Amino acid sequence: MNFAYYPGCSAKGSSSDYESSTQAVCRALDITLEEIPGWNCCGSTPAHAVDTELSAALCVRNLDIAARQGADLLLTPCPSCLSNLRAAARRMEKPAFRQRVNELLDAPAAETFPEVTSVMQGIARQIDRETLAARVQTSLKGLRLAAYYGCLMSRPSELMRFEDPENPLLMEGLLSACGAEMVDFPLKTACCGASFGIPERAMTARNSGRILELARRLGVDAVVTACPLCQMNLDLRQKQAGRACETSFHLPVLYFTQMLGLALGLKRNELGLNKLAVSANGLLEKMDNLRRADAVEGGRS
């Protein structure tokens, strides 16, 4: 199955590990991602914080490229891109708004755009639980994980239409199909502090710290994310978050695609695990030990 694909900027920079693991997992699941040519940044939060029409114009240029490619579904890994693309498409339904945005573009945009959804939902649409379970090479059994969605994946709910907006379970579904034990994680849609890490560090450190603290109390082996910025706040900024909570954390924070990749038996270097600021080596060792124990047991019976 082929999908048009909008990687978003972080895929090419701070979250190249999300990108490589997304590509690897999709390939393994026979999903082909076709990057739309000449895409540009959606403008992220700064654009809509500054001006709705500017933000829409940046998004619509990409939607227009996808429409002209004849795509009927566009996938993106980044919830922030997804939210912006969807909000822009919705606003373009109003003729007055459409006209203001068209004025900013080289040529008026296509009348209709393809539907946009996340890579996670794209995978779940293509592969059902049984099929995924049947593809598992290295079970995640014995690992306790917290699924963390962040705020944009499910909100605003009428725009994102992502399950129960306060308690989504899609990631739990995918990872439990691979054998993992998923804890009930009450802060799964709480905000981590967004890009305020740069101008106002306390905002991000406190909010991310609260999330990490809860995960630690629940005794998880790792936190699993779907958003490049969430991942950066919880991983690269983990020390800052620890300082804000007067403690120090050591919790690996992986993308759900990296976790899926491990289960599908993909090469670890393909999954970009070396890019994590908090090393996942302990987690990998635990996994290896668990599977070795299985093998011994299997041999005995």
Partner 1 sequence: MNDAIDISHVRDAAFTAEVEARSGQKVASCYQCGNCTAGCPAGFAYDMQVSQIMRGVQLGLKDSVLKSRSIWMCLSCSTCSQRCPNNIDVAAVMETLRHMARKEGHITVPKVEKFWLSFLNTVRAFGRSYEIGTMVLYMMRSLRVYTDVDLAPTAFAKGKLGLLPHLTPGGAEPVERIFRRYRERAKREGGRP
Residue 217 Cβ vs ligand SF4, minimum distance, rounded to whole Å: 19
Which residues, listed in sequence order, are joined to residue 279 by a DSSP beta bridge? none
Candidates 21, 118, 121, 207: give the one binding partner 1 (CB under 8 A).
207
156, 280 in Cβ contact below 8 A? no
C-alpha–C-alpha distance, residues 189 and 148, integer Å? 7
Instruction: Tell me how far CA of residue 159 lies from CA of 71, 106, 162, 177, 218, in angstroms.
Output: 20, 27, 9, 28, 31
**Of these partners, ligand SF4, partner 1, none, which one is at the site of residue 130 (CB under 5 to 8 Å by kind)?**
none
Tell me whether residue 71 or residue 153 sits nearer to partner 1 (CB atom): 153
* Least distance in angstroms from the C-beta of 277 to partner 1: 5
* HSE-up (13 A, CA, CB side) for residue 26: 25
Contact region for ligand SF4 (CB under 6 A) — 102-110, 226-234, 273-281, 292-300? 226-234
Q: Rounded CA gap, 41 and 300, in Å?
A: 56
Q: Which does 69 bind (CB under 5 to 8 A by kind): ligand SF4, partner 1, none?
A: none
Tell me the per-residue interface mask from 77 to 106 with ligand SF4, x by CB under 6 A, - otherwise. -xxxx-------------------------
Q: Name 121's Cβ contacts closer than 8 Å, sequence gap at least 6.
A: 162, 170
CB atoms within 10 A of CB 286: 15
Q: Which window, 24-32, 50-58, 114-122, 141-149, contacts partner 1 (CB under 8 A)? A: 50-58
Decide which of ligand SF4, partner 1, none touches 230; Cβ closer than 5 to 8 Å per partner kind: ligand SF4
Q: Among residues 109 and 287, whose Cβ is nearest to ligand SF4?
A: 109
Contacts to ligand SF4 from residues 5-44, by CB under 6 A: 8-10, 41-42, 44
9 close to 268: Cβ distance less than 8 angstroms: no
| Contacted by 227, from partner 1, ligand SF4, none: CB < 5 to 8 Å by type | ligand SF4
Q: Please pick, from the candidates 27, 125, 216, 239, the single residue that binds partner 1 as defined by CB under 8 A.
A: 239
Q: Find out whether 226 and 188 touch, Cβ atoms under 8 Å.
A: no
Tell me the two tokens of residue 189: 């849609």
Gap between the Cα atoms of 113 and 84, Å rounded: 14
For residue 152, state whether it binds partner 1 (rule: CB under 8 A): yes
Residue type, 189: T
Closest contact distance (angstroms) between CB of 37 and partner 1 is: 7
Q: Is 164 in the site for partner 1 (CB under 8 A)?
A: no
Burial status of residue 21 (CB atoms within 10 A of its CB: 0-12, 13-18, 19 or more) = buried
Residue 194 touches ligand SF4, criterion: CB under 6 A: yes
- Shortest distance (Å) from residue 49 CB to partner 1: 5
| Contacting residues toward ligand SF4, per CB under 6 A | 8-10, 41-42, 44, 78-81, 150-152, 191-192, 194, 227-230, 233
